[in-house]
Amino acid sequence: MVDIYFSTHYICGMLINELSKKTGISVHTIRFYEKSGLIEGKQNEAIKSNNYFHYNEVTVDKLAFISDAKSVGFTIKEIGQIIDTWYNKKYTKKQKLKILDDKLISLEQKLKEIKEMKKKIFLLKEDVVNNRC
């Protein structure tokens, strides 16, 4: 009988391979994100035979967010900023709100540009349909 409250898994969370499988992000890329400061694992002080990093569900959430944020065109730096408004004490409340408002503005801008591009492509399509080009 194993006391789950003292199992390695319960205390330390998952290792990088499990995190990779859970998120669909490669081990290499996860390490790259860790080096870039977007996520961080913890080493268990009690275990001295290895220096393995352990990750929790917060990291899973962060990686899901990173994927989404990359899709909308945010850079690693920008994603780091947003994540730091989240769990981090790096910024004051005022700074956090400024960062988030800036991102909302840039998303609004992207929305506008994409709608305009849709119109342009649509007009181009009309020209093709009507043999005008």
Task: Give the footprint of DNA on this chain (CB under 7 A).
Answer: 8, 15-18, 26-29, 31-33, 41, 47, 49-53, 70, 75-77
Query: How many residues at the interface with a copy of itself, by CB under 8 A?
Result: 36
From the CB of 49, what's the least distance to DNA, in Å? 4
Residue from 37, 39, 36 nearest 16 by CA: 39
Among 68, 75, 77, 90, binds a copy of itself (CB under 8 A): 68
Residue from 99, 79, 12 nearest 39 by CA: 79
Judged by beta carbon distances under 5 to 8 A according to partner kind, the member of a copy of itself, DNA, none in contact with residue 123 is none
| Residue placing its CB nearer to a copy of itself in the complex, 76 or 100 | 100
Interhelix angle 76-84/93-129, rounded to 10 degrees, is 140
40 near a copy of itself, rule: CB under 8 A: no
Judged by beta carbon distances under 5 to 8 A according to partner kind, the member of DNA, a copy of itself, none in contact with residue 76 is DNA
Residue 113's alpha-carbon distances to 21, 108, 117, in angstroms, are 36, 9, 6
- Residue 8 makes CB contacts below 8 A (sequence gap 6+) with 44, 47
